[in-house]
Amino acid sequence: MSSETEEKRSKAQPNGCERAFVQRNKIKWFWAPAFFGFWLLLYVTISIPACHRLPRPLTIQDEETHPDQFIAERAEKNLRELVSLGPRVVGSRQNEMAALKMLSQKMQKIRSGTANDIEVDVQVASGSYVHWSMVNMYQSIQNIVVKISPKNTNSTTYLLVNSHYDSVPAGPGAGDDGSMVATMMEVLRVLAKSDKPLKNPVVFLFNGAEENPLQASHAFITQHKWAKYCKALINLDSCGNGGREILFQSGPNHPWLMKNYRRAIKHPYASTMGEELFQHNFIPSDTDFRIFRDHGSVPGLDMAYTYNGFVYHTRHDKAEIFPRGSFQHTGDNLLALVRQIANSPEIENSAKYAKGHTIYFDVMGWFLVFYTETEGVILNVIVSLISIGICGYAIKLISVNSGIKLEKILKKVGHTLLVQILSVVVGAILPVLLGLFMDAVHLPLSWFSNSWLILGLYFTTFFFGLAIVPAMYFHWTKQDKLPIGQRVQLLLHCHCILLSVLTLIFTICGIRSVFVLMLSCLFYTVGLIINIATRLHTKDVAWVIPHIVCTVPPFVFFAYFSHGFFTTFIPMFGRFGENLNPDLAVAVFSVAVGFLCCGFIIPVLQLFNKSKTIICGLMGITLLCFIIAMTPIGFPYRPETNVQRFAVLHTKRTFHDADNKVRRQESGYFIMPQDRRTYTVKHAVINMTLAQRIGSDCDKEINCGLPLYNQRWHKTRKNSLWIPASEPVLGENVPTVLLLSKNSVSPTRIRYEMQLSGPNHMALFIQPLNGAKMMDWSFHQAPLRLSFEPPYFIYFSWGVNGDPLKFWLELEKPNGNWNSTTLELGLGGHWTHHKELITPDFKKFLDSFPHYVDATPWPASFESRIF
Is 337 part of a structural domain of the chain?
yes
Band (pLDDT 50/70/90 cuts) for residue 714 is low
The answer to whether the beta carbons of residues 601 and 488 sit under 8 Å apart is no
pLDDT at 15: 54
pLDDT at 8: 45
Band (pLDDT 50/70/90 cuts) for residue 12 is very low
pLDDT at 220: 98
In this structure, the answer to whether residues 501 and 469 fall within a common structural domain is yes
pLDDT at 10: 43
Q: What's the whole-number mean pLDDT along residues 27-41?
A: 95
Band (pLDDT 50/70/90 cuts) for residue 758 is very high
Number of domains in the chain: 3
In this structure, the answer to whether residues 310 and 422 fall within a common structural domain is no
Is 453 part of a structural domain of the chain?
yes
Strands (E) located in 747-812: 749-757, 761-768, 773-777, 792-798, 805-812
CB atoms within 10 A of CB 693: 12
Q: What percent of the chain has pLDDT over 70?
A: 96
In this structure, the answer to whether residues 277 and 153 fall within a common structural domain is yes
Whether the per-residue pLDDT at 3 is higher than 50: the answer is no
CA 580, 583, 586 angle in degrees (round to 5)?
100
pLDDT at 126: 97
Give the residue, 16 or 26, on which the prediction is more confident.
Answer: 26
Q: For residue 105, is it left (φ>0), alpha (ψ between -120 and 50) or beta?
A: alpha
In this structure, the answer to whether residues 512 and 577 fall within a common structural domain is yes
Is 620 part of a structural domain of the chain?
yes
Q: In terms of DSSP bridges, do strands 644-656 and 853-866 run parallel, antiparallel, or are they unpaired? A: parallel
Q: What's the whole-number mean pLDDT along residues 357-384?
A: 95
In this structure, the answer to whether residues 88 and 33 fall within a common structural domain is no
Q: What's the whole-number mean pLDDT along residues 364-392?
A: 96
DSSP string, 428-482: HHHHHHHHHHHHHTT-TTTTSS-THHHIIIIIHHHHHHHHHHHHHHHHHTTT-SS
Band (pLDDT 50/70/90 cuts) for residue 6 is very low
Q: What's the whole-number mean pLDDT along residues 750-773?
A: 95
Band (pLDDT 50/70/90 cuts) for residue 19 is low
Whether the per-residue pLDDT at 295 is higher than 70: the answer is yes
Whether the per-residue pLDDT at 729 is higher than 80: the answer is yes
In this structure, the answer to whether residues 352 and 380 fall within a common structural domain is no
Residue 78 per-residue DSSP state: H
- Residue 795: domain span: 645-866
Q: What percent of the chain has pLDDT over 90?
A: 83
Q: What's the whole-number mean pLDDT along residues 461-467?
A: 98
CA 823, 828, 832 angle in degrees (round to 5)?
165
User: Per-residue pLDDT tens for 639-681?
Assistant: 999 999 999 999 999 999 988 899 999 999 999 999 999 999 9
User: Per-residue pLDDT tens for 794-843?
Assistant: 999 999 999 999 999 999 999 888 889 999 999 999 988 777 889 999 99
User: Per-residue pLDDT tens for 231-285?
Assistant: 999 999 999 999 999 999 998 889 999 999 999 999 999 999 988 888 777 776 7
Is 65 part of a structural domain of the chain?
yes
pLDDT at 139: 98
Is 7 part of a structural domain of the chain?
no
HEC string of 245-283?
Answer: EEEEEEECCCHHHHHHHHHHCCCCCEEHHHHHHHHCCCC
In this structure, the answer to whether residues 776 and 711 fall within a common structural domain is yes
pLDDT at 23: 64
End residue of a domain, out of 344, 364, 384: 364
Band (pLDDT 50/70/90 cuts) for residue 307 is very high
Q: What's the whole-number mean pLDDT along residues 132-140?
A: 93
In this structure, the answer to whether residues 326 and 389 fall within a common structural domain is no
Is 3 part of a structural domain of the chain?
no
The answer to whether the beta carbons of residues 458 and 466 sit under 8 Å apart is no
Whether the per-residue pLDDT at 11 is higher than 70: the answer is no
Stated as kind and residue range, the H or E segment containing 769 is: none
Backbone phi, psi, residue 770, to 5°:
55, 50
Q: In terms of DSSP bridges, do strands 300-305 and 230-238 run parallel, antiparallel, or are they unpaired? A: parallel
In this structure, the answer to whether residues 765 and 686 fall within a common structural domain is yes
Quote the mean pLDDT of the chain: 93
Is 182 part of a structural domain of the chain?
yes
Q: What's the whole-number mean pLDDT along residues 308-324?
A: 96
**764, 805, 766: which is closest to 788 by C-alpha?**
766
Give the residue, 256 or 4, on which the prediction is more confident.
Answer: 256
Is 369 part of a structural domain of the chain?
no
- Give the best-scoring range by mean pLDDT among 1-5, 193-197, 403-407, 523-527: 523-527
Q: What's the whole-number mean pLDDT along residues 310-322?
A: 96
In this structure, the answer to whether residues 449 and 542 fall within a common structural domain is yes
In this structure, the answer to whether residues 605 and 686 fall within a common structural domain is no
pLDDT at 481: 86
The answer to whether the beta carbons of residues 203 and 160 sit under 8 Å apart is yes
Whether the per-residue pLDDT at 63 is higher than 60: the answer is yes
Strands (E) located in 150-229: 158-164, 202-207
Backbone phi, psi, residue 766, to 5°:
-120, 120
**240, 250, 505: which is closest to 356 by C-alpha?**
250
pLDDT at 20: 62
Residue 797: partners with Cβ closer than 8 Å, 6 or more residues away = 90, 91, 137, 138, 139, 141, 209, 212, 215, 709, 760, 761, 762
End residue of a domain, out of 308, 333, 364: 364
Virtual torsion, Cα 250, 255, 258, 263, nearest 10 deg: -160
pLDDT at 666: 95
CATH of the domain at 351: 3.40.630.10
**592, 615, 595, 609: which is closest to 469 by C-alpha?**
615
The answer to whether the beta carbons of residues 27 and 36 sit under 8 Å apart is no
User: Per-residue pLDDT tens for 92-106?
Assistant: 999 999 999 999 999
pLDDT at 711: 66
Q: What's the whole-number mean pLDDT along residues 200-226?
A: 97
pLDDT at 131: 86
End residue of a domain, out of 573, 607, 632: 632
pLDDT at 763: 94
Residue 673 β-bridge partners? 646
Strands (E) located in 333-467: 358-363, 367-372
Whether the per-residue pLDDT at 502 is higher than 70: the answer is yes
In this structure, the answer to whether residues 248 and 349 fall within a common structural domain is yes
pLDDT at 174: 97
